[in-house]
Amino acid sequence: MIKIRVPATSANLGPGFDCLGLALDIWNEISFESAEKMSHFVIGEGAEKLNKGFRNLLTKSFALVHSVCGKKLSTVKIEASNKIFMSSGLGSSAAAIVAGLCGANEILNKPLSENDLLKLATETEGHPDNVAPALLGGLLTSIITRDEIIWRRYEMPEWTIVIVNPQVEWLTKTARAVLPKSISRTDAVFNIGRTALVIDALRNGDLSLLQKVMDDRIHQPYRLKHISGGTSAYKIAKTFGAAALSGAGPSIINFVEATSAEKARREIINIFEERGIETKSIVTKPSNQGVYSIKNPSLV
Ligand code: HSE
């Protein structure tokens, strides 16, 4: 038996659309045990949806590694205990893909390298910004070229991070459909400089710099207006520290001083509750550890 632990991620981080992502200290745990036939069962976040059928991103990714390596599919009992909110902008799809790929890779005695896994995960997800930190931990900058994914990883210092996830229907597909096909040079320049400064601020634990530069003109303005309460919640979050839409949303991610975390969480929740929208929320921190496996977990 092996157990895979895979972290949540927050992509974009304001201006770094489709190229920045950060691993968070929120984990899904998935065990794979040899069995006579395939089965898949989830407890925790997303259980209701994921237990409806067997074909999902995790099981498809598990099968993908077998077919890429020319191996017969290993029959396993898969059990997941999920903490990552689904459809929230916290990389639950990336976590499922990475867990499926890494689970299969472990079972087959690691035929694929880290870069092979990143390439497969990126092809499955469509962009590397969530899958790269889920695999590697920390803060990741990554780009896709014709032949490879080029990435750099940065170790993160301590940060206090508030996440508030409004319970609204918001699919990544919709979140991409509302974006304009092209942007002005002014907006491109606005984002380029800020992306470089966001990386610097995050690596150095510099909250006052992050608060000044975590703005975006490529995706957030177009998305926030479709999320009920989104713009107001984002504005309140900014009064406590640096804020962004997490990934494609609808969660708001807020980097704050540890002493203001509970107040920030309460006030962001209030904005949504005033509109009759329920929320899930968490105070967390970055994870410098990406996905990892525990062999024979009962013996550890
Ligand atoms: N960069 C992606 C987006 C993350 O903003 O659409 C969500 O998949």
Calculate how far, in angstroms, residue 136's C-alpha sits from the geometric centre of ligand 1: 18
What mean pLDDT do residues 108-120 have? 95
Of the chain, the percentage scoring pLDDT greater than 90 comes to: 90
Which ligand 1 atom sits nearest the alpha carbon of residue 94? 8
Calculate how far, in angstroms, residue 12's C-alpha sits from the geometric centre of ligand 1: 7
How does residue 260 score in pLDDT terms, banded at 50, 70 and 90? very high
CA distance 286 to 225: 28
pLDDT of residue 63: 96
pLDDT of residue 248: 96
What separation in angstroms does the CA of 254 have from each of 123, 132, 189, 244? 30, 21, 24, 7
pLDDT of residue 300: 44
Q: How many CB atoms lie within 10 A of CB 298?
A: 8
pTM: predicted TM-score of the whole model, two decimal places? 0.94
What mean pLDDT do residues 76-84 have? 96
Mean pLDDT of the chain: 95
pLDDT of residue 295: 81
Cβ of 5 closer than 6 Å to ligand 1, yes or no, is no
Calculate how far, in angstroms, residue 125's C-alpha sits from the geometric centre of ligand 1: 10
How does residue 55 score in pLDDT terms, banded at 50, 70 and 90? confident
Which ligand 1 atom sits nearest the alpha carbon of residue 11? 4
DSSP string, 182-248: ---HHHHHHHHHHHHHHHHHHHHT-HHHHHHH---SSSHHHHHTTSTTHHHHHHHHHHHEEEEE-TT
Residue 299 has pLDDT above 60, yes or no: no
pLDDT of residue 49: 86
pLDDT of residue 165: 98
Helix (H) or strand (E) holding 112: none
Cβ of 172 closer than 6 Å to ligand 1, yes or no, is yes
What mean pLDDT do residues 143-150 have? 92
Residue 26 has pLDDT above 80, yes or no: yes
Residue 172 has pLDDT above 90, yes or no: no
pLDDT of residue 298: 59
Calculate how far, in angstroms, residue 105's C-alpha sits from the geometric centre of ligand 1: 26
Domains of the chain by start residue, with CATH: 2-155+286-299 (3.30.230.10), 160-284 (3.30.70.890)
- CA-based R_g, the chain, Å: 19
C-beta separation of 100 from 59 below 8 A? yes
User: Is the peptide bond preceding residue 157 cis, with omega within 30 degrees of 0?
Assistant: no
pLDDT of residue 54: 76
Among 92, 119, 113, 116, smallest CA distance to 30 is for 92
What mean pLDDT do residues 219-230 have? 96
Model pLDDT for residues 186-204, shown as the tens digit of each residue: 999 999 999 999 999 999 9
Cβ of 287 closer than 6 Å to ligand 1, yes or no, is no
CA distance 28 to 45: 9
Identity of the residue numbered 12: N
